Structures are given as C-alpha cells and as structure tokens.
Amino acid sequence: MATKNKGTQKHNYYKVEGDKVEKLKKECPRCKGGVFMAEHLNRFACGKCGYTEFKKQ
C-alpha cells in the first residue's frame, strides 16, 4: 500500500499569538525567504544550499 507524500508542513514552523507571528525554526542566512534549516544533534543544516552551522557545546 503506497502512502502519499505530504511534503513539508510549513505551518508547523510558525507560532501565532494574537497579532504576532514567531518563527520556531532557524532560517538559513544565505537563502532567507522562508528556507528553514534542519536541526541535527550537533549542527543546523540547510537542505537547499548546503550551509551548515555547528552547535556550541
């Protein structure tokens, strides 16, 4: 049985309180414009351009 790919659910990346909108995920500094970075154990990585930031320990 094949399942349909739901794709990225970007509405889960924002939090709305009253009239304010807050981004819950880190945005890529190179791509900007709604491109969010994936959070791994020791780094943040952009899937579009490959930019990586390592977390401080």
12 among the known binding-site residues?
Answer: no
CA 36 remoteness from chain centre: 3
Residue 41 annotated as binding? no
CA 42 to chain CA mean position, Å: 15
Cα separation, 19 vs 34, in Å, equals 19
Q: Is 54 annotated as a binding residue?
A: no
- What is the DSSP-derived secondary structure letter of residue 19? T
Binding residues for Zn(2+): 28, 31, 46, 49
Binding residues: 28, 31, 46, 49
